[in-house]
Amino acid sequence: MNTLIFVTLLVSSFAFFARTVWLFGRAVAAGAPDPRPRLDQIPARIASVGIYFFGQKKVAEEGPLHRTSKHHLFIFWGFLLITIGTVDTLATGVWPALAFSNWMPRFLFQPLYATIDAFNLVVLLMIIWAVIRRTLVRPKLIPWSLDAGLILGAIGSLMVTHFLMHGYEIAGRIAAGGTTEGALPVSSLVARFVGPLSPAQALRGEHLTYWTHILILFTFLNYLPYSKHIHLLGALPNIWARNLSERRMDLPKLNLEDETQWGVGKFEQFSWKSLLDTYACTECARCSNYCPAYGTGKNLSPMQLVHDIRYDMLDHVARRDQIASIAGEIATLEEYGKSHGDDPAHPSPDLVFARERHAAAVQAEADMPRLTGGRIAEDTLWACTTCGACQEVCPVFIEHPLKIIQMRQNLVLEQEKTPPDLVRTFRNLERQSNPWGIAGDKRMEWAEGLDVPTIEDHPNPEWILWVGCAGAFDARIIKQTRAMVKVLDAAGVDYAVLGHQEGCTGDPARRAGNEMLFQMLAEQNVETLKSVGAKKVLTSCPHCLHTLKNDYPQFGGEFEVVHHTQLLARLVADGDLKPAKTTAGSMTYHDSCYLGRWNREFDAPRDVLEALSPPGGVQELTRNKQHGFCCGAGGGRMFMEEHGERVNVNRTDEIIAKGVQTVAVACPFCNIMITDGMKARDNETIQVLDVAELVAQSLPDVPLSALTRKRPKA
């Protein structure tokens, strides 16, 4: 009888769980096809699962704003081991002969049982710490909640009932004159605590705690998909399907002729991988804690954004299932009416009621708030700087910025809801091909007094120097551009500029959602670069670097694109540049998000600075390299007004606290934003200088116009 009850519970529990997984999987399958390969590089994907799911590598990583979640590691690894014991319990409940102890050699099953028993205690202690952490320590964005209480309570109860179940079993064995040889170590201690007992008392205790354990296990299994622990189902496939490309923000090219695909306005317009992301979220809150927008009080929590997408998806799928169910009921009633000769003009009351319910359900779905600009507010989407800090720290490789940009595309292209600041920027890009709206015929004024070769004067150079809009039009960055010219000339680099043929790469347009404008600019620039036979492109702007290198291949623009710090590091290493030690004093370096996190270049700027400085002269900021803090200018934010605490001022305060004399940058936007931050703090003692400016200062004091280039004749 007990076996029949157990099997009934087992089958019904697993059947309900399988149905839930199928329903949730069907929701993901409703997403659009993903343009990136997800089943290629099988060995690399297997390794990813081993390292990041079973090995928990990113969970174990520490950063400036978080410490390793060691208790989570013990819970996860302990639970994996305990699952072996759970399999044994379930197998034994179906057929006692399947118990490990009945077919496994003694020298194997005894250590295995002992280890499982010990890890039950480890997990229980970690659960107790998790409760204390949430209720007393209260880390940011990880609150105590009913869901957390149910999950932690269920896991803790499974551990306790395990000890009681086996404790009563051992106590009964002792009461019957048996021995505790080979007994479970922790459960044996429990047996001493509950004993001495008669065999009948021990058996009753064992049965009670056994069935309690089984009921908790089956309940937990079916509650899990509806809780925060759904990531136990979503994390492994999400890690498997992660982006293995070097292009870490691989934004798909929109088909602008298909107006139904102008960005993402509803959940099914996301790719299935983006929807799978929402099941993988572990709610560790690292993404939000590292987000510069969230950290400065903006209405953007990357973690909540991912949850909102999941809730929207599941709400719509549930509503559509209801509509489909009622539609099936209507079809059945109509067929019944036909078979019984009912007059279609006078349907039965049941059919009328069903049709009314169907209409109400259809209307209820239509009245649900839209995803983009509704459930996820417009200011949430516009707050993002696309810095990638959220994606960098996510232990399960969720791609937050991609989703935000795709929803921005829908706001701009379909809903025509563009912030006024960006309307002006887009108009400037369209009319003058630069976000400042300065007349295009002034693009070469930055080079006044310099002997800068244009592509017309010097065709077929080794390098095309991509000046960029900031480098050509912003008064502060023009100094940086002129310094770079001095360095290139001193090193004898063979280069030329496009001059008036150069236009904005379109980075502000694409990151801000105006894909139509971006594609127009990209096609023009690719055509120009191809027409001059460009092979290598050198740029001082990481945003230009990222766009030219990662976006332009979608338009046939395959070029070798190098950031100026990479070339400078190479020239210094090869001895083509021999800079003297800088007089800039103590220094620190601010990592550009688009050079560092997105394009993985952390070393080149530091190598150049180390060559300029005495040993130990370059000090690291607390938030550096992959955990560097954004200047606030990316994602089109450079051209938008910011309210409340400013991101650039937050970063500036960190630089000031370091007590250095110079902060080196490698991005025009970072230069502008940190310079503005220093002004906001009335700080006139710390210089903000590009790496190229520091190198130029260390070279012989020769007027720029007097320098000549060692370039071959055309």
The phi and psi torsions of 347 (rounded to 5 degrees) equal -65, 160
Strand order in the sheet with 560-563: 495-497, 463-466, 536-539, 560-563
The phi and psi torsions of 466 (rounded to 5 degrees) equal -85, 105
The phi and psi torsions of 687 (rounded to 5 degrees) equal -85, 145
Provide the CATH number for the domain around residue 269. 1.10.1060
Q: Which pLDDT does position 179 carry in this prediction?
A: 67
Instruction: Tell me: do 344 and 300 sit in the same domain.
Output: yes
Residue % of the chain over a pLDDT of 90: 73
Q: Is residue 711 part of a domain?
A: no
Q: Which pLDDT does position 711 carry in this prediction?
A: 43
The pairing of strands 536-539 and 463-466 is parallel
Q: Which residue has the tokens 């990113």?
A: 58
Model confidence at 23: pLDDT above 60: yes
Model confidence at 706: pLDDT above 50: no
Q: Which residue has the tokens 């549930």?
A: 318
Count of structural domains within the chain: 3
Segment 472-525, tens digit of pLDDT: 999 999 999 999 999 999 999 999 999 999 999 999 999 999 999 999 999 999
Tell which of 349, 382, 414 closes a domain: 414
Segment 393-427, tens digit of pLDDT: 999 999 999 999 999 999 999 999 999 999 999 99
Q: Which pLDDT does position 701 carry in this prediction?
A: 67
Instruction: Tell me: do 584 and 474 sit in the same domain.
Output: yes
Q: Which pLDDT does position 181 carry in this prediction?
A: 57
Q: Which pLDDT does position 614 carry in this prediction?
A: 84
Instruction: Tell me: do 306 and 446 sit in the same domain.
Output: no
Q: Are 311 and 375 in contact (CB under 8 A)?
A: yes
Quickly count: other Cβ atoms within 10 Å of residue 382's Cβ. 25
Model confidence at 192: pLDDT above 90: no
Q: Is residue 591 part of a domain?
A: yes
Instruction: Tell me: do 315 and 397 sit in the same domain.
Output: yes
If pLDDT is split at 50, 70 and 90, which confidence band does 184 have?
confident
Instruction: Tell me: do 430 and 498 sit in the same domain.
Output: yes
The beta strands (E) that lie in 467-616 are given as 495-497, 536-539, 560-563, 587-589
Q: Is residue 599 part of a domain?
A: yes
Segment 652-703, tens digit of pLDDT: 999 999 999 999 999 999 999 999 999 999 999 999 999 999 999 998 765 4
Instruction: Tell me: do 627 and 535 sit in the same domain.
Output: yes
Q: Is 675 helix (H, G, I), strand (E, B) or coil?
A: helix
Instruction: Tell me: do 52 and 139 sit in the same domain.
Output: yes
Tell which of 414, 443, 471 closes a domain: 414
Q: Are 356 and 326 in contact (CB under 8 A)?
A: no
Q: Which pLDDT does position 446 carry in this prediction?
A: 96
Segment 662-671, tens digit of pLDDT: 999 999 999 9
Q: Which of 84, 86, 110, 81 is nearest to 165 (CA)?
A: 86
Q: Is residue 249 part of a domain?
A: no
Instruction: Tell me: do 207 and 338 sit in the same domain.
Output: no
Q: Which pLDDT does position 337 carry in this prediction?
A: 84
What's the mean pLDDT when you consider all of the chain?
A: 91
Q: Which pLDDT does position 58 carry in this prediction?
A: 92
Full DSSP string of 655-671: HHHHT-SEEEES-HHHH
Q: Would you report the helix, strand and coil content of the chain in percent, each value rounded to 5?
A: 60, 5, 35
Q: Is residue 246 part of a domain?
A: no
Q: Which of 651, 672, 698 is nearest to 540 (CA)?
A: 672
Model confidence at 714: pLDDT above 70: no
Domain boundaries, position 645:
421-706
Q: Is residue 247 part of a domain?
A: no
The DSSP code for 497 is E
Q: Is 235 helix (H, G, I), strand (E, B) or coil?
A: helix
- Please give the average per-residue pLDDT across 17-35, as a whole number: 93
- Please give the average per-residue pLDDT across 173-188, as a whole number: 78
- Distance separating the N- and C-terminal Cα atoms of the chain: 94
The DSSP code for 385 is -
Instruction: Tell me: do 496 and 580 sit in the same domain.
Output: yes
Model confidence at 316: pLDDT above 60: yes
Model confidence at 546: pLDDT above 80: yes
Q: Are 670 and 638 in contact (CB under 8 A)?
A: no
If pLDDT is split at 50, 70 and 90, which confidence band does 180 have?
low
If pLDDT is split at 50, 70 and 90, which confidence band does 704 have?
very low
The tokens for 86 are 């759970």
- pTM for the complete prediction? 0.92
Q: Is residue 250 part of a domain?
A: no
Q: Are 708 and 496 in contact (CB under 8 A)?
A: no
Segment 49-87, tens digit of pLDDT: 999 999 999 998 888 888 777 788 888 898 888 888 899
Tell which of 365, 394, 414 closes a domain: 414
Segment 232-271, tens digit of pLDDT: 899 999 999 999 988 888 899 999 988 888 999 999 999 9
Q: Is residue 309 part of a domain?
A: yes
Q: Which pLDDT does position 549 carry in this prediction?
A: 96
Separation of alpha carbons 51 and 664, rounded Å: 36
The tokens for 207 are 């049965």
The phi and psi torsions of 196 (rounded to 5 degrees) equal -75, 145
Instruction: Tell me: do 203 and 310 sit in the same domain.
Output: no
Segment 370-381, tens digit of pLDDT: 999 999 999 999
Q: Which pLDDT does position 91 carry in this prediction?
A: 87
Instruction: Tell me: do 501 and 610 sit in the same domain.
Output: yes
Model confidence at 36: pLDDT above 90: no
Model confidence at 88: pLDDT above 60: yes
Among 24-28, 425-429, 481-485, 578-582, the minimum mean pLDDT is found in: 578-582
* 106 burial level (CB within 10 Å; 0-12, 13-18, 19+): exposed
Q: Which pLDDT does position 619 carry in this prediction?
A: 94
Instruction: Tell me: do 471 and 580 sit in the same domain.
Output: yes
